[in-house]
Structure 1
């Protein structure tokens, strides 16, 4: 009975989305009998809930019909829809770029400006593929009805044959081309073969969804109004929030199991009010601490440069907001705002967090691990360890367009030789990302 109880407890605490491992010879696969769209008989759909390193939780689906042989493979995000959509622009220059792993959702449209070719989001399901795989799938789709077209519409068939030859030329890379992925759900991803160094050929921007795009995803503003109504009516005034620890149910960001998040409003000396949130998952043991600004967006952005020379600099308090980019030029390291999220820690703590994230994740390389990427990752982790041991002098740069990031001045309000703070005016693109260009304050 005790053994059975422990087994049930282990099953209960087991994460919903588990990482695939060579030691896990029998991953938990769910089989469902479902209708075959080709022959109308029943086939088998297999579902696997797993995690993609450097990305998120996903549901892999594989259908096979034993009657007609029809097969279909799809991928869907297992996490929540992000607050903004994502646009990824990739410059394809070498054969290595053709082999980049792509994770695309059902809501991803693809555009190749060089050929004025666009694949609508409705025409291809979510999948894990490569740039070359997307081109091959497009070629197969165009070739599918060519025999019929040659009989009924010969002129159209000739034009399509010419376009197919242009798609084949993309794979030969006669000249570089650009491919653009736009996903309103924000759940698409492209492999960075240079990780953890910045990908100079890939540009990622986030955009605010339109009302129509929210409706496609099933998001309606009325639902948000209902959730915010108790706070708007003054049920939780600011005086009551200060000093109080509030708890609310959520899902673990690592395994997606139900857990609780604790939230507290506090003041950072010489800065502003912030909201600190901490989550502990009893299923997988994952801990996360996140911080968000308790006030609005500042009139100007801020760029903070701190030169790390010793233990004194490591002990500086540091607030990185969820809109802040981070950079260490000496290591050619650039970290986007979504990688570590918002954090209230120290200079040492933020570098340790980067090191731990790289150490705990393997590079996103599909079915095998590229030795070159593994070696590069290990060398980079070793460089971070040298920084933490005080063997390397580096500069940590925080660039926050919202102006909500902070590094402690060791001299109080006086001059600090190793700390440089620069305020700057945001450009149109930065205001667009923050949603400020659409704000209307006239007659408010």
Structure 2
């Protein structure tokens, strides 16, 4: 098997997973970051990210001598005597003004390494970037001997390692066919279908895929509301839909809205790209508006459950929030729909206590400052007017709901994920309120 010398800039979810997984495939990998303390922990095999299997891969890569960590992009390029053959850019591209992706970190790294890269090196944009970024990167490099390729990631938090090693497809786009083929060959052991295309098409694939998933989620949330109004059962409706191979079962679970580190910024970025191209992307705009409305609808469900009125006051009423992360299996709070709903409840005057299996009472994230975060779900539920399930952690199903019924002030649970077994909750004395379950 051929072995490539690979430098990865960035050690977040994408960068660290990319580096560790490429090392597990036999390549020589060095990962760079600007956080010296974080790098020291990684070099010792300590992974801060809650991602199943990642810590083990990092430890294995270090022990095998195929994975190392250095401070700064320049040091990553200089790590190999002959320089890297491939340089992956896995740095943040946060949402900027107007929804456009902020490429300042990407551009900063390119400027740092452009004079240091060896002849024939391939620079790979792994971060989610707007159409035209590969061309912009090539312009910043100003080197005909260094190719730029787009290779978008399709990793889900909580299953990132599995997704990398078992991909649905590999997408590589570039204006130099040989460079694109070299990048695609890095994944040859995975046996996945490979799409070789131009850079703009590869860049658009990621946005188009994520925005389609967001549309699917907004659609099922709207159907769930329709079920509430018509007396239908959303579980049966989505089961009937999901057996259609053209639709599939994935992303048909209603919830408090979609969020996380990708969908909000990617939908906003594609909408901005469409506007810049003088295209009115009404379907995407409706997807975003529906998601915003969904969060308000969850607050309305809580109002009705607690006060019996859609406009009832929540002022000074204590609510227990079960789940704060944007989804189960991760400790990521970025653009969490749970926190968005919590913020609206707090604005309505409610007093909030929260419990999440991935967070401790010492959680210092600014978005949880208005929530009393505790380490015990029963403590969170003490004297609560209602329990609001906001994240689909499986552990919530196995809680002692009889004990919870004795702990709360009022035995009401608003299950915004349809996670719990309604019969179990009702046998414990709870009034169970879900989505699309009139």
Q: TM-score, normalised by structure 1?
A: 0.26
Higher relative contact order (CA 8 A, sep 6+): 1
**Higher strand content, 1 or 2:** 1
**Higher helix content, 1 or 2:** 2
Q: TM-score, normalised by structure 2?
A: 0.26
